[in-house]
Amino acid sequence: MKTPLIFDASVKGRGAAALPASGVPEPAALPANMTRRNEAILPELSELDVVRHFTNLSRKNFSVDTHFYPLGSCTMKYNIKSCERAAAMPGFNDLHPFYTYLPGGSQEVSGALEMIYDFERILSEICGMDGFTCQPMAGAHGEYAGIRMIEAYHKAKGNNKKYVIVPDTSHGTNPASAAMAGYEVITIPSLPDGSMDIDALKSAITSEAAAIMMTCPNTLGLFETGVREISEIAHSHDALMYYDGANLNAILGKVRPGDIGFDVVHINVHKTFGTPHGGGGPGAGPVGVKSVLLPYLPLPKIVKGADGSFSVITDDADSIGKMAPFFGNFGVLVKAYTYTLLLGKEGLIDVAEKAVLNANYIMEKLKPYYDLPYDRRCMHECVFSASAQGKHGVSALDIAKFLIDREIHPPTVYFPLIVKEAMMVEPTETESKETIDGFIGIMIEAARLAETDPAILKNSPVHASIGRPDETKAARQIDVKMNCGL
C-alpha cells in the first residue's frame, strides 16, 4: 500500500508536539535584514498522523529484526537489545561533549572516558595493535584517518611517497580514501585462485609506495595466505600495511592483524561488534596502530594517569589533528563496548567459528546449483556467480529480486567487481540452521526456475511494496525533493 509523502498528508494549521512555553517578557526584535522572509515549510500533522506515517514506512523495510539478511560484506548479524539499553542510559545519552575541552572537565566525564579507554585497550588486544583511536565515525572515515597517519609517518621520515597499492578485490572506499589523502592508486590483479598476485605486486612496488591496503579475508571471503610475504615486500620498501577490518569478524581469536605484519587496522563496529546499521548509519570506525604510528593518532586522545584517573590530550604537534570534534560516534561505541562485555573471549571466538561454519555450509549446499568461481574453503562469506543461469537469460539481479518476493533480503550482487554476476552470501553467526536451510531451499528453487520458468524471476518482485524501479529515469530526471510550493 502506498504511504503518501508526509507533505502530501499535511493539513495547514495542524501540529503535534507541545513545546515548552516561553514565560519570559517579549524582547526587542532582531534587525529585519537578519530574519527570515519566507517561512520554512515543514510537515503539519497530528502526533498520531506522524506515528502512523513512520510506522507504515518502517513496515516497507527489510531488516535483521524481520528478515534473514545475508548481504555479503555487510555482516547483518543480530543487534543485541541490551546494547541499545546501555547507550540510552541518561549518563551517556544526555552527556554534553564540551566537557572534553574544559580544564578539569575530565572529572565530569570519567565514566565515559574510562569506557572509551577500556574499549581501545580491548580492541588493541583483539587486533594485536599497540594503540587505538575511537574518533572515526565510520569505516571509510577510519580508512581515511589510517592513511593520514601513514602519510604523517612518511612525512616525518622524509620519505617521498606517491601512491597506495590496493588489490582489485578491494572495497571502493580504499582507493577513495587514499585519493582523499592525496595519493595516487595502483591496483594489483588477483590470481585465478582469488588471492593477490604477489609477482605483480613485486613488479609494481617501488620506494614511492606509501602503503598496501588489504582486506583479509578478502572480499571473496578467502584468506590471503601470502599475507606474510606481502607485508615483508611492503616493509622492505618502507611501505606500511593497512588492514581493512571489514571482515575481521571471520578471524576473531584466530588471527590478529598486528601479528601478521599489519601496521594499521580499522574496524567497522557494525560488522564485527554487532551495532545496528541504522538504514545506512551511524557506524563507527576505530583505528588501531603499531607503536611507530602512535604519535600521529588523531585528537582528542585519552590518557590514563599513574593514579588511575583519565585525562584528555587536546593538543599535540605530531598528531594528524581532528577527524571529529570529540570522540566520534560515542553512542555507537557504547553499544560495541557492551557487545564485547557480553560476549567476552569465548563468545568472540564463537562468532568467528559459527560465521565460518554457516558460510561453508551454504557454499557446500549451493555448489551443485550455482557456479563457484573460487572453489576453495571460504571464511565467513562465499561468492557465487549466476553466469550459469545467464544461459537462460537470468541475471544475479533477477535472483535477488526473486528472493525479495520470498521474504529474504538478497545477497550483495555485482561485488566484488572481478566476479561476473556475483552473488556474495554472508549468513553471519547469529542465524540458525533452520533459517539457513530455508534460504538454501529458495536459492535452489530459483536455480530450477531459471531453467524451467525464467519469466517468474525476470518479473519479480511482485509482492514487494514496489515493482522494479526505473533507475535510469531517476538519474536523468533528477527529483530529489518535493516541490512544496516555494
Partner 1 sequence: MRNSYTPHTEQDVKSMLDTIGVGSIEELFSPIPRELRVKSFNLAPGLSEFDALNKMQSLSARNNTQDVQFMGGGFYDHFIPATADALASRGDFYTAYTPYQPEASQGTLQALYEYQTSVCNLFGMDVSNASLYDGGTALAEAVLMAFRATRNRDTVLIDANVNPLYRDIVKSYLSPLGFKIKEIASNDYQLNRKELISAIDEQVASVVLQNPNFFGTVDDYTDIADASHSKGALMILSAYPLSLGLLKSPGEMNADIATAEGQSLGLPLSFGGPYLGILTANEKYIRSMPGRIVGRTVDKDGNDAFVLTLQPREQHIRREKATSNICSNQGLCALRALIYMSLIGRGGLKELSKTIYDKTQYAKKALAGIKSLKIPETPCFNEFVIELPGDAGQFRDALSKKGISAGIPLGTFYPAMKNRLLVAVTEKRTREEIDALAAAIREAVL
Site for partner 1 in 57-96 (CB under 8 A): 57-67, 69, 71, 74, 76, 78-80, 82, 84-87, 89-96
- Enumerate residues 6+ apart whose C-beta is below 8 A from 133: 120, 145, 286, 287, 297, 298, 301
- Enumerate residues 6+ apart whose C-beta is below 8 A from 56: 1, 3
CB atoms closer than 10 angstroms to residue 9: 16
Q: For residue 138, what is its C-alpha cell?
A: 565510520
CA 80 to chain centre: 17
Site track for partner 1 across 303-332, x = CB under 8 A:
-----------x-----xxxxxxxxxxxxx
Stretch that binds partner 1, among 198-206, 381-389, 447-455, 470-478 (CB under 8 A): 470-478
- Specify the residue, 254 or 391, whose C-beta has the smaller distance to partner 1: 254
Does residue 42 touch partner 1 according to CB under 8 A? yes
CB of 407 to partner 1, least distance (A): 9
Does residue 471 touch partner 1 according to CB under 8 A? yes
Considering only residues 201, 220, 248, 255, which one is a binding residue for partner 1 as defined by CB under 8 A?
255
Contact 284, 138 (CB under 8 A): yes
Does residue 416 touch partner 1 according to CB under 8 A? no
Stretch that binds partner 1, among 170-178, 301-309, 418-426, 442-450 (CB under 8 A): 170-178
CB atoms closer than 10 angstroms to residue 434: 8
Stretch that binds partner 1, among 174-182, 196-204, 419-427, 444-452 (CB under 8 A): 174-182
* Residue position matching grid coordinates 585497550: 121
- Specify the residue, 15 or 391, whose C-beta has the smaller distance to partner 1: 15
H/E run at residue 213: strand 209-215
Does residue 6 touch partner 1 according to CB under 8 A? yes
- Within 333-352, the residues that bind partner 1 by CB under 8 A are 334, 338, 340-351
Closest residue by Cα to residue 233 from 199, 259, 263, 264: 199
User: Measured between alpha carbons, how far is residue 62 from residues 1, 136, 336, 397 in Å?
Assistant: 16, 28, 23, 17
Would you mind telling me the total number of residues written for the chain in this entry? 486
Considering only residues 130, 197, 430, 456, which one is a binding residue for partner 1 as defined by CB under 8 A?
430
Q: For residue 372, what is its C-alpha cell?
A: 563457484
CB of 387 to partner 1, least distance (A): 21
Considering only residues 149, 178, 265, 457, which one is a binding residue for partner 1 as defined by CB under 8 A?
178
Query: Whole-angstrom Cα distance, residue 130 to residue 263?
Result: 9
Stretch that binds partner 1, among 197-205, 301-309, 388-396, 407-415 (CB under 8 A): 407-415
Site track for partner 1 across 21-40, x = CB under 8 A:
xxxxxxxx-xx-xxxxxxxx
Does residue 125 touch partner 1 according to CB under 8 A? yes
Considering only residues 247, 394, 412, 439, which one is a binding residue for partner 1 as defined by CB under 8 A?
412
- Specify the residue, 285 or 394, whose C-beta has the smaller distance to partner 1: 285
Instruction: Identify the bridge partners of residue 304 per DSSP, sorted by sequence position.
Output: 310
Query: Whole-angstrom Cα distance, residue 189 to residue 149?
Result: 26
Count of residues touching partner 1 (by CB under 8 A): 208
CB of 408 to partner 1, least distance (A): 9
CB of 345 to partner 1, least distance (A): 4
- Indicate the DSSP class of residue 80: -
CB of 133 to partner 1, least distance (A): 13
- Specify the residue, 46 or 206, whose C-beta has the smaller distance to partner 1: 46
- Specify the residue, 313 or 451, whose C-beta has the smaller distance to partner 1: 313
Query: Whole-angstrom Cα distance, residue 310 to residue 99?
Result: 13
CB of 202 to partner 1, least distance (A): 20
Considering only residues 70, 72, 129, 144, which one is a binding residue for partner 1 as defined by CB under 8 A?
144
Stretch that binds partner 1, among 5-13, 234-242, 287-295, 446-454 (CB under 8 A): 5-13
Does residue 189 touch partner 1 according to CB under 8 A? no
- Within 197-226, the residues that bind partner 1 by CB under 8 A are 222-223, 225
- Within 380-399, the residues that bind partner 1 by CB under 8 A are none
Contact 439, 362 (CB under 8 A): yes
- Specify the residue, 24 or 306, whose C-beta has the smaller distance to partner 1: 24
H/E run at residue 178: helix 173-180
- Indicate the DSSP class of residue 302: E
Considering only residues 158, 307, 368, 466, which one is a binding residue for partner 1 as defined by CB under 8 A?
466
Sign of CA dihedral 246, 280, 275, 89: positive
User: Measured between alpha carbons, how far is residue 395 from residues 128, 305, 400, 403, 469 in Å?
Assistant: 42, 60, 9, 13, 16
CB atoms closer than 10 angstroms to residue 21: 6
Query: Whole-angstrom Cα distance, residue 137 to residue 330?
Result: 9
